[in-house]
Amino acid sequence: RPVDKEVDFANYFCTYAYLYHQKEMLCDRVRMDAYHSAVFRNASHFQGKVVLDVGTGSGILAIWSAQAGARKVYAVEATNMAEHARDLARANGVSDIVEVIQGTVEDVELPEKVDVIISEWMGYFLLRESMFDSVICARDRWLKPDGVMYPSHARMWLAPIRTGLGDKKMEDFDIAMDDWSLFVQDTQTYYGVNMNALTKAYRAEHEKYYFKSSIWNNLHPNQVIGQPAVIKEIDCLTATVDEIREVRAQVTLPISMDARLSALAGWFDVHFRGSAQNPGAEEIELNTAPDDNGGTHWGQQVFLLTPPQKVTNGDNVNVSFSMVRSKENHRLMDMEFTYELHELSGRKHPAVTTKIYLE
Amino acid sequence: RPVDKEVDFANYFCTYAYLYHQKEMLCDRVRMDAYHSAVFRNASHFQGKVVLDVGTGSGILAIWSAQAGARKVYAVEATNMAEHARDLARANGVSDIVEVIQGTVEDVELPEKVDVIISEWMGYFLLRESMFDSVICARDRWLKPDGVMYPSHARMWLAPIRTGLGDKKMEDFDIAMDDWSLFVQDTQTYYGVNMNALTKAYRAEHEKYYFKSSIWNNLHPNQVIGQPAVIKEIDCLTATVDEIREVRAQVTLPISMDARLSALAGWFDVHFRGSAQNPGAEEIELNTAPDDNGGTHWGQQVFLLTPPQKVTNGDNVNVSFSMVRSKENHRLMDMEFTYELHELSGRKHPAVTTKIYLE
Ligand SMILES: Nc1ncnc2c1ncn2[C@@H]1O[C@H](CSCC[C@H](N)C(=O)O)[C@@H](O)[C@H]1O
Ligand SMILES: Nc1ncnc2c1ncn2[C@@H]1O[C@H](CSCC[C@H](N)C(=O)O)[C@@H](O)[C@H]1O
């Protein structure tokens, strides 16, 4: 089903039209440092080159590209933020190089092919927002055969963690259901209507909200209780939409301490390596893993396992994972986890399957 | 410009598909008491009659109508909540009378005309959500010539108030702007880009957010420092969309105490009177004015006046008010207030104009 563009604006693009939101990204030092280094430590990829910035937002990556010596930068932005990007380029003395074009990158026409595509397209758990589709489209339309992608590679990670978030959610859920019971009583008493027919649906709605929704959190590294695993690798130069529309993986997560396994966490990293033909001078990494120097605006995504399970150093958790796009909104994700604890002792717990929504 | 239906679902209807949200309305005792009384104390309007419930939600008004003796109730609901309404009607033994139809009322076909249209269509400050348009459409299509509307009348009110909300907003605004200054410095220092070109736009965005957005609040009656005025009256039996698309009023608000005039507040009431031909047995009122018995889920809408002004018992505030629908979303409102303080002493302050967005 093709995406209704106006709905997509109502649901998605609208937030990016606020400077408030752009600033949040511009204040993410981990993100900013990585892209800044990627551009300036690989200046030879930019000097005298033609660059396309997919989703320029405030224009920051386009301006850096110009400052690093690009001959021309096409900076494409769907929202009205484009105007601010234009102002910013002018105020920073690069308006002769940076050409801001308002429109979706799927629709724009450029007068030439480009040497570099730079873009900050990553959403929560890498693929939320499905913006990489737009980067693929831009690449296939406008990148020269020997062009390079910034970033060039991306990976999704999954790890076993401990967290109190589930306990808090359980409390809130119980309060919500107690409150519902009172409501059912009161509505019968005062208004003569028996609401009990909706109790099951109300419970299901709240279970989804409290337990089956991915939770944003910047975890501390000591909450990671076993070895993280890569569940998806993307080569930005060659990936197709078909390759990212669904993600499926089977991994074993070895537990490395005695703890309570209460959730899995997901995050991503991306690398800036240039291309095989045309490698960068220095490989730069942008990593959104748990980090005690403070996190990123992406945080990690916490997927609760209910009930939590006691685990021991040496146990293994086998996980099969699938992620597909939500039917109602292709920028949101429906995930399914099936996990199976294999104790070091040899005991195997029965497999448990849970759905989690990344909304 | 006609409304894109899918965008309307994305922006508006979606929230009503949650039982959580329906429950909020079902827990509003002022609202519930008024509709309950309206139906059961005017049972003769329902006995043996055909009723249309526009936007039945959980089905509550349809079920009451059936309990009050309706022969048939068509309960129309756009969202999937329709299914729950159907379950609820069944569980309450009225599924032979209540027929739930999922769809927008603009699109449904009924097999007969109706004697009564009941609907809870009121949004913040009465007209936010523009749902009364749908009631008008339903009325013109399906109400018999001698049919009655529940509610039958509605009014919008404006009053001069005192509140500390503006001071809090001012603090938050100052913090946001200080933070922006630091951000501009840091971005220059660490990333070589001068962000000052965006300062004006950032300030404007935040002024809109902090000072020009209507604020939801349940005010205490003693915050009302003068006489409220009716700025709009609607006869639900005869009103047309043209009559409500814009609201314009000129009112004088007499100040009745020495106080700081820091805002105007807006609210509404509706009445259930039946029709002139066919009056109800008892007139019922649903009033969302400030009330020390606790408020409604609508609260009142606070429109900040910046800067606040000292006023004295006997002063008058002349207000000219206009409200039009937002260009981007016909369910949201753009308001403009021009206010002029006439002191008891004879001194006239210059008129001040401010825009407020009801989003
Ligand atoms: N298909 C598309 N065409 C054009 N712009 C798009 C797009 N999909 C997303 N965007 C824009 O891409 C931006 C992603 S956020 C990144 C902004 C900026 N490059 C920075 O690094 O700070 C948003 O401003 C969004 O509106
Ligand atoms: N044009 C339209 N057609 C059908 N349903 C509509 C509609 N516009 C709004 N609605 C529905 O009207 C409801 C308004 S809220 C009121 C719900 C219920 N009557 C009660 O009093 O508790 C929402 O559920 C909304 O989805």
Q: Does B26 touch chain A (CB under 8 A)?
A: yes
Note the pLDDT of residue B335.
98
Catalytic annotation, pick one of B129, B233, B336, B359: B129
> Measured on CA atoms in the order A275, A279, A284, A290, is the torsion positive or negative?
positive
Catalytic member of A24, A77, A109, A120 = A120
Instruction: Identify from A120, A173, A191 which residue to disrupt to test chain B contact, counting B C-beta atoms within 10 A and taking the largest count.
Output: A191
| pLDDT for the residue numbered B294 | 82
pLDDT at position A1: 57
pLDDT at B2: 67
Q: Which of A41, A299, A34, A290 is nearest to A151 (CA)?
A: A34
The answer to whether A194 contacts B92, with C-beta atoms less than 8 Å apart, is yes
For ligand 1, is residue A319 a contact (CB within 6 Å)? no
Burial of B293 (0-12, 13-18, 19+ CB in 10 A): exposed
Provide the Cα torsion A129, A133, A135, A138; round to 10°: -140
Q: For atom 7 of ligand 1, which residue has the closest CA? A: A55
| Predicted confidence (pLDDT) per residue in A109-119, tens digit | 999 999 999 99
Question: Helix, strand, or coil here: A345?
Answer: coil
- Helix, strand or coil, per DSSP, at residue A212: coil
**Position B5 pLDDT exceeds 90:** no
Could you give the CA distance from residue A307 to residue A90 in angstroms, rounded to a whole number?
Answer: 56
Task: Based on the residue annotation, tell me whether A129 is a catalytic residue of this protein.
Answer: yes
Secondary structure, 3-state, chain B: CCCCHHHHHHHHHHHHCCHHHHHHHHCCHHHHHHHHHHHHCCHHHCCCCEEEEECCCCCHHHHHHHHCCCCEEEEEECCCHHHHHHHHHHHCCCCCCEEEEECCCCCCCCCCCEEEEEECCCECCECCCCCHHHHHHHHHHHEEEEEEEECCEEEEEEEEECCCHHHHHHHHHHHHHHHHHHHHHHHHHHHCCCCHHHHHHHHHHHHHHHHCECEEECCCHHHECECCEEEEEEECCCCCHHHHHCEEEEEEEEECCCEEEEEEEEEEEEEEEECCCCEEEEEEEEECCCCCCCCCCCCEEEEEEEEEEEECCCCEEEEEEEEEECCCCCCCEEEEEEEEEECCCCCECCCEEEEEEEC
> Which positions ≥6 away from A93 have C-beta within 8 Å?
none
Nearest chain B alpha carbon to A26: B187
Q: Are B6 and A11 within 8 A, CB to CB?
A: no
Please tell me which of the candidates A7, A92, A192 has its beta carbon nearest to residue B194: A92
For B34-43, what is the mean pLDDT?
Answer: 98
Min Cα separation A274/chain B (Å) = 22
The helix (run of H) or strand (run of E) holding residue A29 is: helix A29-40
Smallest Cα–Cα separation from A139: which of A102, A101, A105, A98?
A105
Which of B10, B91, B197 comes nearest A10 by C-beta?
B10
Rounded to whole angstroms, how far apart are CA atoms A307 and A262?
Answer: 7
Report field, pTM of the whole predicted structure over 0.90: yes
pLDDT in tens, B152-187: 999 999 999 999 999 999 999 999 999 999 999 999
- The protein residue whose alpha carbon is closest to atom 21 in ligand 1 is A120
pLDDT digits (tens, 9 = 90+) for B262-284: 999 999 999 999 999 999 999 99
Residues of B within 8 A of A202 (CB-CB) are: 19-20, 23
| Start-end of H helices in A162-221 | 165-191, 199-211
Task: Give the tens place of pLDDT for each residue, A249-282.
Answer: 999 999 999 999 999 999 999 999 999 999 999 9
Least distant ligand from the CA of B32: 2
Please indicate whether, in this complex, the C-beta atoms of B26 and A84 are within 8 angstroms of each other.
Answer: no
Question: Which residues, given as ranges, of chain A have pLDDT below 50?
Answer: none
| pLDDT tens per residue across span A22-76 | 999 999 999 999 999 999 999 999 999 999 999 999 999 999 999 999 999 999 9
Q: What pLDDT does residue B18 have? A: 96
Would you say residue B336 has pLDDT above 60? yes
pLDDT of B1 > 60? The answer is no
Handedness of CA A61, A288, A324, A171 (dihedral sign): negative
Lookup result for tokens 């809408």: B301
CB A246 within 8 A of CB A323: yes
Say which ligand is closest to the CA of A65: 1
